[in-house]
Amino acid sequence: MKEKENISPEFLETIERYYNGLMSKEEKFAFEEALQQNALLEQEVEDIKTLLFSIEKQSLKEKIDEFHADLPIQLEIEPSISNLRFLNFRNIAAVVILFAVGSFWFFNASSNEKIYDNYFKPDPGLPTMMATSDDYTFYDAMVNYKQGDYKTAISKWEKLEKLSPNNDTLIYFLGVAHLADKHIDKALSYLEKSSETTTSVFVEDAYYYLALVYLKKDKRDKAIEFLKKSTSEDSKKLLEQLK
């Protein structure tokens, strides 16, 4: 089991606050929304709750048995789960190594990342029929890009970039290709450079994808900053979602 797949103390604390009614309205809404959207996460949380209730119940029963062992007359008392008003997760640290949550994009994937997942779609690319003998390699890579073979497209475009390092079309598509291939930091580098070329026909789209990168990196303020620069409909919709 990978280390990152173990339940983190933060995750346990979040579940504790949820079941003990200690979340704010906003946090509870976001948590329940995440559970509704991810059935596997919901099951993991339910399993953790069930296990911890069992442990707490057994612990309470043992304490009651010890107490009644000192009484002259033994009474059969079955502890009620209703007595377990608050789960004490911190006293059950061993549970951490018993379950794998696989990071599951709840807190590893914050609400910002979930919004990113809902809004990100790769740029549709340019029509490949525009290719000529002079730009054959670029459009050949565009075919790969449109087929979802981002790595091959990137490899071909990077070779062209060495010959034309300031070509705004190359820079932009290298940015969105890296983003589609989940290379967030590389995408950030290219898209930042693309957004600086304000005369480029791709600048509006660069703002939008750059905002998505920052959202993915959990930097909502930076995402909003770039969305405000864009006049595209997608940017307006996403900006409204983030307000």
pLDDT tens per residue across span 194-243? 999 999 999 999 999 999 999 999 999 999 999 999 998 999 999 998 88
Residue 190 in tokens: 């290219």
Chain segment 189-208, per-residue pLDDT in tens:
999 999 999 999 999 999 99
16: its two tokens: 């504790």
Q: What is the pLDDT of residue 57?
A: 54
155-175: pLDDT as tens digits? 999 999 999 999 999 999 999
The residue written with tokens 């525009």 in the block is: 130
Contact between 88 and 15 under an 8 Å Cβ cutoff? The reply is no
pTM for the whole structure = 0.56
What is the C-alpha separation between 112 and 110, in angstroms, rounded?
A: 5
Q: What is the CATH number of domain 118-242?
A: 1.25.40.10
**Residue 105's pLDDT is what?**
43
* Domain definitions of the chain by residue range: 3-109, 118-242
Residues 207 and 229 sit within 8 Å (Cβ to Cβ): yes
Q: Does 53 have pLDDT greater than 70?
A: no
pLDDT digits (tens, 9 = 90+) for 174-184: 999 999 999 99
On whether the CB atoms of residues 46 and 119 are closer than 8 A, the answer is no
pLDDT at 106 over 50: no
pLDDT of 1 over the 90 cut? no
